[in-house]
Chain A
Amino acid sequence: MRRLLYLLPVAVFGIIALFFLRGLTLNPREIPSVLINRPVPEMNLAPLPGRGENTGLATADLKGRVSLVNIYGSWCIACVQEHPYLVQIKKQGIVPIHGIDWRDDPVEGAKWLQKHGDPYDRVGIDPAPGRTAVDFGVTGAPETFIVDKAGLIRYKHIGPVTPETWDKVLLPIIKELNK
């Protein structure tokens, strides 16, 4: 019995080591959203110039169909990486993608879409101080939200959407929600 007591420090060390080991694999940038299963925030965002009237993004536009909301900006470098893949997803016609041009000059935001392709059904502008983005709990761009038919946020992806995250994470959730 007393012998076992000498193993106590080793056991304590083991437990601490386990915590640290887990910490090594966590990404501190990925802050879990508290808005999951909550309704999308109230918004009524103006359209991008040159994209036509009634192409802005409002809360009501996100009801009735599973949809994606993608936060981007012409200043956002990771968005350039993600964008061709969004264009490809749009072509597949599985899910409508809406954009929020965050903290951007709307003219630049529109030009950027002309240059890199426009995968969006609707695009709303959210100039600084980005009130709608804050309502979405956005921590950076790009971020992509999955919104269900009832207009509830069901998933948030931080960082660019890659083929891997699309196949393994986003698409299965969308399929499930579409059932």
Chain B
Amino acid sequence: MKRLVLGLALILVPPAYAADPSEMLKDPVLEKQAEALGKELRCLVCQNESIEDSNADLARDLRIIVRERMAKGESPEQVKQYVVDRYGDYVLLNPPFKGTTLVLWLGPFALLLLGVAAAFAFFRRRGASGGPVPAAPLSAEEKRRLETLLKDKDQ
């Protein structure tokens, strides 16, 4: 019983974010927006974490700066642009859709289309040649043999 409770307690802990309460904005709506933005921004130190999740000092600094700017009345878009202007698109966990990222976004679909086209061509060519060749009709000799064989079986 004790183990079960302990296990459940472990499973049910709410997800912990690196933002400690002292960093949070007082306005809950603004804080929500800041958190949402922070989740889109890559931590430059531990590169596959967002600044919202990371414990790195630089991530903390960026969290604070994001909140400072939002508290001053900047929109999430403006704050995002501020960070991108300094760290490049690299800082966005969701790469933007633009000229340099076309291959990244459209490549998989292009490959899929190519595959479908290849499969289509393959099956159509097989269809045109009539599929598997039907067996030739039996000759008179073969028919006779077949009959004797079948008769043998009956006896």
Contacts and interface: CB of A to CB of B under 8 A. Distances in A.
Q: Is the interface of B mostly helix, strand, loop or mixed?
A: helix
B88 A34 contact: yes
Contacts of A121: none
A32 B62 CA distance: 19
Contacts of B87: 31, 34, 137, 139
Contacts of B65: 129, 131, 134
Interface residues of B, number: 15
Contact of B61 (A28, A33, A35, A130): A130
Contact of B60 (A32, A33, A129): A129
Nearest to A135: B86
A128 interface: yes
Contacts, number: 44
B61 A134 contact: yes
Given A33-B88, A103-B61, A129-B62, 12 more contacts: A31-B44, A31-B87, A32-B88, A35-B86, A128-B60, A128-B61, A129-B61, A129-B64, A130-B61, A133-B61, A139-B87, A140-B58
Interface of A: 28, 31-35, 103, 128-131, 133-140
Interface of B: 44-45, 47, 57-58, 60-62, 64-65, 85-88, 90
